[in-house]
Structure 1
Amino acid sequence: MNRRLIQRIGLGLLGTALALSAWVVWDNWGDTWLAAPSASSASTTPSASSAVDPALVERGQYLARVGNCMACHTARGGASMAGSRRIDTPFGSVFSSNLTPDMATGLGSWNADDFWQALHHGRSKGGRLLTPAFPYNHTSVISRNDSDALLAWLKSLPAVKQAPPAHTLVWPVGTQAALAVWRSLFFKPTPYKPDPAHTAEWNRGAYLVQGLGHCAACHSPRNRLGASGPVDDLSGGLMPVVNWYAPDLTRDAETGLASTPLADIVQLLRTGHAPQAQTSGPMAEVVQHGTQYMSPADLHAMAVYLQSRNAPGSASAATSVKTSVSPRVAEQGLKVYDRHCAQCHGEQGRGATTGAGQVAYPALAGNRAVLLRDPTNLVQMVLYGGFGPATAGHPQPFGMPPAVLELDDRDIAAVLTHLRTQWGNQASEVTPLQVNRIRASQGS
């Protein structure tokens, strides 16, 4: 290979790199250079005397609850919406922003255009790119009217001076250059466009699920760079770091959405409990802080949309093949169940209800959560226990005690295998290795 050819190849590679760099820069900031300054962007400090429509503030509060903004923007024991909550990712930790109207550390100097830029383009005031721990692919779905209402409510909150700690992401993940490349590969604003082939109610449900509800943030698989699928991808997957499995919301075999009455879906979202399902783990937090406050009309719209996305499937959420369990595992599983589980869930796995007819302990026979192909959530519940959400429709949920210090991996694998192979249940065996991996991933 002669020197001139090597030079040409080098110049070609350099030209390609420069062209790609220019495209990434233009892709992330080009719209700000093209946009003419607006009247609202000319003034960064809102007038203290400007009147704010109380109805707009009230709507903003409702939308913030629908979006469960508190879950990320309120540190445990901290002031509401003042940020600084640590959010762990596979690449390190980020700390949420202060959304109160403090002039120095919050949104006090932000105007409606600044806030819209953050929601629609994932850029902070001044153009700094935000990390995708903030689900701006979903907030880009939100309409400008709803964005303005959210800001009106946030501006009505008491100002809290609290700057979030610096992110602790591994280099170069948190750099603006890396974020720009990531965004060019995986992010494009997707404002919602109503589908004329469906009803207004269906479209409202789609808007809520894809936007404020950001359901695909959990119910969509992520690649190695942390990118999830499109905002309407509900095909399920393992949630990174927290290690809970978010079921595929498009498969009736996993969720039962296609065959569940709409009223029961609404009840589950409103109370966390329904005749054939109960929420736990991250979904319980969604109900606790978000969906229980939604209007009946919006909950029904979400149920209509989610049900329409479901393809009817087999009755089993796991497998139709009968599992052959060794006598030793079967005996061990029965002993553990009788000692630790039967008192609440019943000898035949039928569960128990309160005097008011509410579910106290869910039935395990025919339970889709028990039958899921991926047993991760079952292992999590046995290891760490937990409570369902406390809601107006179910104010005093019964809890599941943790067994992380009481049962070893073999005990947990055996008892879960017992649940998945008794009372008509037909699902795969859970192995001690599966339990050990989940236990190790949580550091216990």
Structure 2
Amino acid sequence: MKRKSLFALAAAVIVGGAALVPVLWPSDSYHQGIVEAATTPVETADLVKKGEYLVRAGDCIACHTTRGGANLAGGLPMATPFGTLYSPNLTPDDETGIGTWSQDDFYRAMHTGRAKDGSLLYPVFPFVSYTKVTRADSDAIYAYLRSVQPVHQPNKPNEMPFPFNNRNTLIGWRTLFFTEGEYKADPTKSVEWNRGAYLVQGLGHCSMCHTSINALGAANQNAAFAGGLIPLQNWYAPSLTSNKEAGLGDWDIADITSLLKTGVSQRGAVYGPMAEVVHNSLQFMSDTDVRSMAVYLKSLPQKSDAPENLQLETSPQFGTQLLAQGEKIYTKECVSCHAANGLGHPPGFPPLANNQSIQMPSAVNPIRMVLNGGYPPSTTGNPAPHGMPPFAQRLSDQEVAAVVTYVRMSWGNHGTPVSPQQVNDLRSAAID
């Protein structure tokens, strides 16, 4: 789910990069806001604490903090099919951050996707989801951002070719793909379900990764949460609406909650962008909120899968050859962790048998894992995760294709063979 996030991160590469840059907007008569209303030290401290929690829930650090950089000072390059954008400084520095922003300015950015000076924000800033955030929560986030250490770090200019560097081109995009409005509770559902829906649809902005995007960089709402390849990141965010992929209809709530909160469960573990989401965001959320998200996600009805990306196919004869070769490689390299029967030793070493993520039509993720390895996130509930070693230097393209083919087609799994050419494409992409 993400956001940079598998992800993440969550990584939501849509049409552009959020530059929470400045918009003149007539001041309205809204109360001066919770920040001003919280006049006592206790009220202010409670509001800031709430805001810090919500910033974690929104995984703001994933996009607005560079590796080794100052917290929330921006500058992270975000490559998109439309150019490279740099996240803005969210610290309360008057010149380079949001020090001169009011609560109203901040809420308008969250709710309408417009900056302080009225300019349109690129939808890589997930205002399409954040519009669902309540005014009270927006004010709390603002209070927290005003409390962090100001950092004087000028925002980098975006590197977008014409016509994408003209923000006015977003007018048509917004007409087609953006509807503003705070989340409205479904009276037919429980309080727990509604809380989960609010977090998943709003601050969590999970659909930005788990929904395929169209040629204009907008989410395909006809296949919401049905999965899709994350552009340029070369990870596949699986469908949350199909039990053939990451649909959770047959999962126990306890297993879903554990996966979200710690990154591991008896049913599997998270890697790649989603591991970043758990590490940066979900592990810090309350057990109650994570369970609410689990309840909502489990309830998502099965729908048609997202449009499939072209996947190279092998002939039946070559597939049989790969399967036999893969069994030998698996016995040599994989049995000690994942067991001969593919059941693994969960939660440290996840099962491969009856694992939806292994059998999905897209083989991108298992190929990436064999090539590059990885770790589930280090979390309070799983402080010393077991890692998967990389095999890119040890196995050829055909050998990787063979072992991935074997795990996708063994122990009752219903996957299809993998082409060595697809492995080569992903190997090159990982190096880039």
- TM-score tier after normalising by the smaller chain length: 0.7 to 0.9
Cα distance in 1, alignment partners of residues 428 and 375 from structure 2: 22
Cα distance in 2, alignment partners of residues 234 and 285 from structure 1: 19
Name the SS for the 1:79 alignment partner: coil
Structure having the higher Rg? 1
**Structure 1 segments of 4+ aligned residues over 4 angstroms from their partners:** 49-52, 323-327
The answer to whether the 8 Å contact 1:210/1:232 transfers is no
The answer to whether the 8 Å contact 2:327/2:403 transfers is yes
Cα distance in 1, alignment partners of residues 411 and 30 from structure 2: 67
The answer to whether the 8 Å contact 2:212/2:223 transfers is no
> What are the ranges of 5 or more consecutive residues in structure 2 without an aligned counterpart?
1-22, 305-315
Q: 1:68 to 1:36 in 2, by over 3 A?
A: closer
Report the equivalent of 2:369. Answer: 381
RMSD of aligned residue pairs (Cα, Å): 2.6
Give the Å deviation of 1:439: 2.5
Cα distance in 2, alignment partners of residues 69 and 84 from structure 1: 13
Q: Which moved more, 1:85-94 or 1:175-184?
A: 175-184
The answer to whether the 8 Å contact 2:211/2:225 transfers is yes
Q: Which amino acid aligns with 1:376?
A: V
Higher-helix-fraction structure:
1
Name the SS for the 2:119 alignment partner: coil
Q: 1:102 to 1:340 in 2, by over 3 A?
A: same
The answer to whether the 8 Å contact 2:353/2:413 transfers is yes
Cα distance in 2, alignment partners of residues 161 and 60 from structure 1: 22
> What are the ranges of 5 or more consecutive residues in structure 1 without an aligned counterpart?
1-30, 314-322, 354-358
Cα distance in 2, alignment partners of residues 374 and 345 from structure 1: 21
Cα distance in 1, alignment partners of residues 247 and 427 from structure 2: 29
Q: Which moved more, 1:271-280 or 1:333-342?
A: 333-342
User: Larger RCO: Structure 1 or Structure 2 (Cα < 8 Å, ≥ 6 residues apart)?
Assistant: 2
Report whether the alignment pairs 1:404 with 2:395.
no
Report whether the alignment pairs 1:301 with 2:292.
yes
Count of residue pairs brought into register by the alignment: 396
1:58-109: CA deviation from partner (whole Å, max 9, x where unpaired): 0001101111110001011101111111111111111111111111111111
Cα distance in 1, alignment partners of residues 221 and 87 from structure 2: 23
Q: Which amino acid aligns with 1:69?
A: C
Q: 1:422 to 1:83 in 2, by over 3 A?
A: same
Report the equivalent of 1:336. Answer: 329
Q: Which amino acid aligns with 1:269?
A: L
The answer to whether the 8 Å contact 1:210/1:231 transfers is no
What is the aligned counterpart of 1:101 among 74, 92, 108? Answer: 92
Report the equivalent of 2:343. Answer: 350
Cα distance in 1, alignment partners of residues 176 and 301 from structure 2: 29
The answer to whether the 8 Å contact 1:211/1:231 transfers is no
Q: Which amino acid aligns with 2:405?
A: T
Give the Å deviation of 1:361: 1.5
What is the aligned counterpart of 1:391 among 362, 379, 383? Answer: 379
Q: Which amino acid aligns with 1:251?
A: S
Name the SS for the 1:238 alignment partner: strand
Give the Å deviation of 1:39: 6.6
Cα distance in 1, alignment partners of residues 381 and 176 from structure 2: 43
Report the equivalent of 1:362. Answer: 350
Q: Percent identity, aligned pairs only?
A: 44
Report the equivalent of 1:12. Answer: none
Cα distance in 1, alignment partners of residues 56 and 354 from structure 2: 33
The answer to whether the 8 Å contact 2:241/2:247 transfers is no
Give the Å deviation of 1:413: 0.6
Cα distance in 1, alignment partners of residues 24 and 295 from structure 2: 38
Q: 1:327 to 1:230 in 2, by over 3 A?
A: closer
Report whether the alignment pairs 1:54 with 2:45.
yes
Report the equivalent of 2:134. Answer: 143
1:157-213: CA deviation from partner (whole Å, max 9, x where unpaired): 000011121111221112122222322222221321111121121111111110001
1:131-174: CA deviation from partner (whole Å, max 9, x where unpaired): 11101101101000000000000111000011121111221112
Report the equivalent of 1:76. Answer: 67
Report the equivalent of 2:3. Answer: none
Report the equivalent of 2:405. Answer: 417
